[in-house]
Amino acid sequence: MPNIKSAKKRVLVTKTKTLQNQMLKTALKTSIKKFEAAVTAGDKELAKTTYTEAICKVDKAVSDGILHKNTAARRKSRFTRMLNNMQ
């Protein structure tokens, strides 16, 4: 346990930021799973709406520093291909 006041504050700030990052990651994973489920179910309308939500969450994760920009580009490309290849 830290003894210095600034170190104590850093522990609290780190806890808060870790929780925020965890919440964003969870929301990102949930939106991706919803999109993939819609694609496998073959529901084109639901896939379109969840696609836009997933892309938005991926972009938000990049801006918050949770995902690398190349990882985000790869995922968005995969999502787009999945949506375009639906029958």
Task: Please report, for the chain, the start and end positions of each structural domain, with discontinuous segments joined by +.
Answer: 28-87
| Confidence band for 86, pLDDT divided at 50, 70 and 90 | confident
Residue 87: pLDDT over 90: no
Question: What is the rounded distance in angstroms from the CA atom of residue 60 to the CA atom of residue 15?
Answer: 21
What pLDDT is recorded for position 1? 83
E strands within the chain? none
- Tell me the pLDDT tens digit for each residue of 10-50: 999 999 999 999 999 999 999 999 999 999 999 999 999 99
Query: pTM of the prediction?
Result: 0.86
Residue 11: what are its φ and ψ, rounded to 5°? -65, -45
